[in-house]
Chains A and B, each alone.
Chain A
């Protein structure tokens, strides 16, 4: 392990870990940071706050391209406490003065970033969906503007470091590559009284991780669905297309959909091949989350809804009339495919060029 303790990196990325498992967003941000830093002649450090170096996390970070991995290792850092983690990071940042400090907009990253920014009296752009580096090497963070069809670039030109929390899933995972970076252990000075709360228990469901993020077909519903009963139409259509159900914020607030189904600025960012938005007006908060979709279809009663400018194909009408007909039409295709005895009979069910 390297003994040279001079840190050279200008962009630092918090390598979030819980129970010795790295959060993907920390790696996504590492990839983006490398992309921003290298043309500017900067280096990137992953910052790992943890205990026990034997778990291979440092090596993992190096393999994803970090120029440096700063490791704060101490028994009192084995589980997260916002005050302790912020204290350690504040000391490091004051010592080495990075230009930029990035975190994931996760439960931990949002909390830690906020405390750290207050300690350092610097600006933090929260829940970003894009990052740029200006020609003056200022960090520009992209956040959706209030309600309108606009995005805002936010920055903190006069304070350092420039901080941002970024939504998980916005950037792609970096590819693993050859290891050139080095590990830099840093001094940690902590007393038991610095740990101001104790985590007694962590419970996490074994969920289908990133189901929405990885889905090829997403059917999303919005405020226009109107009721829990009618929400079933969204689910039925999703079932017919073998998709995953997503939502905008109002259906989540109304209890028709779950929090983890929310797509957009404060939810998930998705890249499906097919997206159908039902009863969704097209607020930018939601639309930024589906930017990466291939075919965007909208069904809405209101011909003025902004989503009709932001989709590939728009159907103006009542979803209660369109969806049942759509499901019936889709079934016709899938049934005729089931009747097909095997390859070589592609003339059944509209697959033939004879049937346009």
Chain B
């Protein structure tokens, strides 16, 4: 079977939060922040590799990103993917979730016959969680989100566990399909030095807009209906009375305050 895994390089959140706290700039600076595979996409890749081990076939990763993120794609290859495809073109810049899904779906169609497309439920940076269902819509195939377990019943029929509020549903679904995985699905494998060397041997194929039959008005900024109207400070500022010094003293002051307001 042919499994395509959507991998998004995202800024590493460890560095991300530290920079967001910078008192001077008060803004997020992205330059110089190392990229990593979006954690849930890594789990999608792990699920793909496990399925390949059971059912045979190939695993192809697909990313839409600047070419500077190549080291991150190498990591996917080191984990065990057979081929990495990078969709990179200035024309793609400014794409929102809808335009991104359209470009990804168009590229995936080039890989027909595909059986399964795997994504992570959400990304650390955008977290709109729209792309997996929208890829499925553009390809006109079924999809499930919040997937926590996958089992092949036959070559085309799968049983999939999809998390819903306070529980899950068990679904019978046929390929080709799109599944986006939840964090419960697995723990991704570790990469050994040997894996890294093997990954270096594999191909990263770059596709630009010329390689895809895209309808121009649906791509990039033009193809993105969502816009930001403005940014504003939320009204969350409060009295901000700050205590410092002896922990015992502070604890007593707080306990006293809570007592007076009726909490103990």
Which residues of A are at the interface with B, using a C-beta cutoff of 8 A?
18, 23, 81-83, 86, 106-108, 110-111, 114-115, 117-119, 121-127, 140, 145-159, 196-205, 207, 209, 217, 223, 240-241, 253, 259-260, 266, 273-274, 281, 283-284, 287-288, 291, 295-297, 303-306, 308-318, 321-323, 325-326, 328-330, 332-334, 350
Contact = CB atoms under 8 A, between A and B. Distances in A.
Given A117-B134, A118-B101, A127-B127, A314 B258 contact: no
Interface stretch (B45-53, B72-80, B238-246): B238-246
B159 A291 contact: no
Which 4 interchain pairs have the tightest Cβ spacing? Answer: A204-B167, A329-B255, A123-B225, A325-B251
Contact of B167 (A196, A205, A316, A328): A205
Categorize the interface residue count of chain B: 35 or more
Nearest to A159: B225
A350 B262 CA distance: 12
Contacts of A148: 20, 26-28
B185 to A, nearest CB: 13
B180 to A, nearest CB: 9
Given A114-B130, A114-B133, A197-B172, A326 B254 contact: yes
B55 interface: no
Contact of B227 (A155, A205, A306, A314): A155
Contacts of B259: 330, 333, 350
20 contacts: A110-B129, A110-B133, A114-B97, A114-B134, A117-B130, A147-B17, A154-B228, A156-B227, A199-B169, A200-B171, A202-B167, A217-B263, A241-B264, A295-B261, A306-B21, A310-B238, A311-B238, A326-B254, A332-B255, A333-B255
A149 B233 contact: yes
Contacts of B171: 197-200
Contact of A140 (B144, B224, B229, B247): B229
Contact of A152 (B230, B252, B258): B230
A318 B250 CA distance: 11
Contacts of A274: 258, 261, 263
Chain A's interface: helix, strand, loop or mixed, by majority? mixed
A158 B170 CA distance: 39
Interface string B2-31: 000000000000001100110100111000
Given A114-B129, A117-B130, A318-B247, A152 B254 contact: no
B16 A154 contact: no
A317 B247 contact: yes
B165 to A, nearest CB: 6
Contacts of B227: 123, 154-157
Interface stretch (B57-65, B107-115, B135-143, B198-206): B135-143
Interface of B: 16-17, 20-21, 23, 26-28, 39, 96-98, 101-102, 122, 125, 127-134, 136-138, 141-146, 159, 162-174, 183, 218, 224-245, 247-248, 250-252, 254-259, 261, 263-264
Contacts of A273: 263
Contact of B127 (A253, A266, A305): A266
Nearest to B132: A114
B130 A288 contact: no
Contact of B165 (A107, A150, A305): A107
Contact of B173 (A196, A205, A322): A196
Interface centre among B137, B141, B257 (most CB of A within 10 A): B137
Contact of A154 (B20, B226, B232): B226
B20 A283 contact: yes
Contacts of B138: 118
A199 B240 contact: no
A238 B232 CA distance: 34
A123 B137 contact: no
Given A114-B130, A147-B17, A305-B21, A326 B137 contact: no
Contact of A326 (B39, B122, B251): B251
B242 A325 contact: no
B253 to A, nearest CB: 8
Contacts of A153: 228-232
Contacts of B231: 145, 150-153
A308 B130 CA distance: 34
B145 A111 contact: yes
A265 to B, nearest CB: 8
A115 B134 contact: yes
A201 B173 CA distance: 13
Given A150-B231, A199-B169, 13 more contacts: A23-B165, A124-B130, A146-B125, A150-B232, A155-B227, A156-B226, A159-B225, A197-B172, A260-B166, A266-B127, A311-B239, A312-B241, A316-B243
A203 B167 contact: yes
A253 B42 CA distance: 14
B23 A205 contact: no
B142 A83 contact: yes
